[in-house]
Amino acid sequence: MHHESVTTELMPDLGAAYPSSPVGFWLEDLRWHRRTFAESRFRWATEDAVDVVTWHTGGQTEFTTVDDLRSLQTYQYAVLDQAQWTSNAMADKLEVARRELDEGLWGSVLDGVGLTQVECDAALWFAEGAGQGERDSTNIRRVLKFVPFRNPLIEAFELKQLMRLYQAAGDMLEDAICDLLGELSSTRPDAVLADASSTPGVNGIRHRVEVARRDRGLPGDQRRIPEQIF
As a 3-state breakdown, the chain gives helix, strand, coil percent values, each rounded to 5, of 70, 0, 30
Sign of dihedral through CA atoms 117, 227, 46, 29?
A: negative
Higher local confidence (pLDDT), 144 or 103: 144
Where does the pLDDT of residue 19 fall: very low under 50, low under 70, confident under 90, or very high at 90 and above?
A: low
- Identity at 71, one-letter amino acid code: S
- How much is the CA Rg of the chain, to the nearest whole Å? 20
% of the chain residues with pLDDT over 90: 75
Where does the pLDDT of residue 113 fall: very low under 50, low under 70, confident under 90, or very high at 90 and above?
A: very high
- Give residue 98's pLDDT: 87
Return d(Cα 39, Cα 23) in angstroms, integer.
21
Over the stretch 157-168, which tens digit does the pLDDT of each residue have?
999 999 999 999
Strand segments (E) across 23-145: none
Closest to 18 (Cα-Cα) out of 129, 106, 147, 105: 147
Closest to 79 (Cα-Cα) out of 62, 113, 55: 55
Distances 120 to 14, 42, 64, 109 between C-alpha atoms, Å: 22, 20, 38, 10
Return d(Cα 118, Cα 109) in angstroms, integer.
14
For the cut 90, the answer to whether the pLDDT of residue 4 exceeds it is: no
Torsion angle in degrees (nearest 10) through CA of 67, 73, 74, 78 = 160
Return d(Cα 116, Cα 82) in angstroms, integer.
21
Average pLDDT, rounded, for the chain:
89
For the cut 80, the answer to whether the pLDDT of residue 97 exceeds it is: yes
Over the stretch 28-62, which tens digit does the pLDDT of each residue have?
899 999 999 999 999 999 999 999 999 999 999 99
Return d(Cα 57, Cα 79) in angstroms, integer.
11
- Give residue 18's pLDDT: 67
Q: Are 80 and 166 in contact (CB under 8 A)?
A: yes
Higher local confidence (pLDDT), 2 or 84: 84
